[in-house]
Structure 1
Amino acid sequence: MQYRLFCSILCSGLTLAAGPGLSHEFWIEPEKYQEVLGNTVVARLRNGQGFKGAEQPYLDHRIARFEVRQGAAAAPYQGRMGDMPAFTAELAQDGLAVLIHQTRPQTLTYDTWEAFQAFIDHKGFGDIRKQHQARGLPEAGFGEQYTRYAKSLVAVGNGSGSDTATGLETEIVALANPYTDDLSQGLPVRVLYQGKPRPNAQVEIFAKAPDGSVTISTRLTDAEGETAVPVMQGHQYLLDAVVLRPAPEGKDYVWESLWAALTFAVPAE
């Protein structure tokens, strides 16, 4: 009974904290982005702003997909209800590991247009208000459904290998390996939506320095859905790109947002 009560309170709090109306990001944060082969890889799920956020537990009813990819091999990850950290596993293979986490959709309600407009402005969606009005929608008391698609790159052993498209509805794919490749021209990435490059998409870049300070910048993708992310040695990075689209007819919400996130680190040497 106490466990059920704890989960009820916890899940309710997560719903409030995870609302993207305040532009909260959701990401996977490894304890170590480079791990010795044979050691346990530990990663946390976090939700927050400015690359700082609250740790989220493993909640199976909130998870649509959770897996690890190394090369061509993919394995689903199964944790225990309430686990914090949410991911703990030994990876027995050398190479780049891609951790993948997709949430189940959740919904929220905007009580004012101003709250939705702040989200629109932050993510660079342009004049959504005209679209909203053209659909005859109210400017208060309307709903949005949101889904998170997070990836993280972890170097196991030699860290060799490459990131690839994983079939998420939207995702950010690293076109170079941050642990083994030359990043003097930045880390090239491609933003995908429904398997196709997403041109003119805003990529928000959160760069965390060794002292914990975070700088935030944005870049737009080109016609091929690509951009180069400037990086510095010894820094951790969170990249974020969001799709906003009208909801299908007949839903009790009117907009859908799809949040792609990618985390990685650049070695100090």
Structure 2
Amino acid sequence: MRRALLTSAILVLVQTATQSAAHEFWVEPEKYQVESGAPLVADLRNGQNFRGAALAYFPAQTARFDLITATGTTPVTPRMGDIPALATTAPADGLLVILHETRASTVKYTKPETFAGFTAHKDFPTALQTHRDRGLPETGFIETYRRFAKALVAVGDGAGADAPAGMETEFVALTNPYTDDPAQGLAARLLYQGHPRAQAQVEIFDRAPDSTVAISYLRTDDAGVVRVPLIPGHAYLLDAVVLRPVNEGAPFDPDTPVWETLWAAMTFAVP
């Protein structure tokens, strides 16, 4: 049974590897509110429109996997192939952050419209011209990508505050969706290399109790802060992407990445 589950997990990983650069990646707890000492279960998911497949845990794909509370950070150490990736016991009352950072993966663009569509969707209006100015081909080039995901979970009363975790890009919640007035929305700061990322697009996925998902787009202000309207009973995924050139000035090599994307994600729910 264990071998069959592992084989299935590997197939899921292979099936999603060629697609995942253009899809969101997030941590999805089974429950966003749990009691201390109760089961704490969460999946790593990859997909679109806040729907996606649960991925198996593989150490070679993982740079960090932590539980962060007011008292410190605890590494998560699943077994290879585990689905769900997190299955443990909830710690003491307070705001819990589940953090997952991937190692670099790559994707090769085989259709010119794919890169064009991606850069338009993620609001990089000058990327195509930059690509041409670098003398790069329309197809057959490689992008490398990494994911930086957080989930906010209320344990017991859920009191507490999020804080920067030192990832290259990340959202930091400035308000607590479990204890603050939802009518005021959620304020979150988007960081890149430890600094606020101003005037960046943030894609908001709002999932209602009936599983319908509404998508909207906001921009961070000059302090890197985005303010997200909230509806009680809904779950949210915030997503923002950094696109940057790599290996500039080098002759084109079809086996060497020419672009890199860094994906920040945060999930939470409103009681």
**Which TM-score bucket, shorter chain as reference?**
over 0.9
**1:12 matched residue in structure 2:** 14
The SS at the match of 2:190 is strand
The SS at the match of 1:26 is strand
Q: Post-superposition, which runs of at least 4 consecutive aligned residues in structure 1 deviate over 4 A? A: 2-8
**2:201 matched residue in structure 1:** 202
Provide, for residues 31-70 of structure 1, a one-character-per-residue CA deviation record: whole Å limited to 9, x for no partner: 0000011101100111100001011111111111100100
**2:51 matched residue in structure 1:** 52
**1:215 matched residue in structure 2:** 214
User: For 2:166 and 2:92, how far apart are their aligned partners in 1?
Assistant: 23
**TM-score normalised by length of structure 1:** 0.94
C-alpha distance 8-261 of structure 1, shift in aligned 2 (>3 A): closer
State the Cα RMSD in Å: 1.5
Shift of 1:72: 4.5
Aligned length: 263
Letter in 2 for 1:143: I
User: For 1:154 and 1:163, how far apart are their aligned partners in 2?
Assistant: 11
**TM-score normalised by length of structure 2:** 0.93
**1:159 matched residue in structure 2:** 158
Name which of 259, 263, 268 aligns with 1:259: 263
User: For 1:192 and 1:183, how far apart are their aligned partners in 2?
Assistant: 23
User: For 2:105 and 2:67, how far apart are their aligned partners in 1?
Assistant: 24
Kept after mapping to 2: 8 A contact 1:45/1:56: yes
Segments of structure 1 that go 5 or more residues without pairing to the other structure are none
Provide, for residues 150-190 of structure 1, a one-character-per-residue CA deviation record: whole Å limited to 9, x for no partner: 00000001111011110010001110000001231210111
User: For 2:9 and 2:225, how far apart are their aligned partners in 1?
Assistant: 41
User: For 1:120 and 1:19, how far apart are their aligned partners in 2?
Assistant: 12
**1:226 matched residue in structure 2:** 225
Residues 1-269 of structure 1: pairs in structure 2 closer than 5 A: 9-20=11-22, 24-249=23-248, 252-267=256-271
User: For 2:232 and 2:107, how far apart are their aligned partners in 1?
Assistant: 39
The SS at the match of 2:113 is helix
Letter in 2 for 1:121: A
Identity fraction in percent: 51
Segments of structure 2 that go 5 or more residues without pairing to the other structure are none
User: For 2:133 and 2:16, how far apart are their aligned partners in 1?
Assistant: 33
The SS at the match of 2:162 is coil
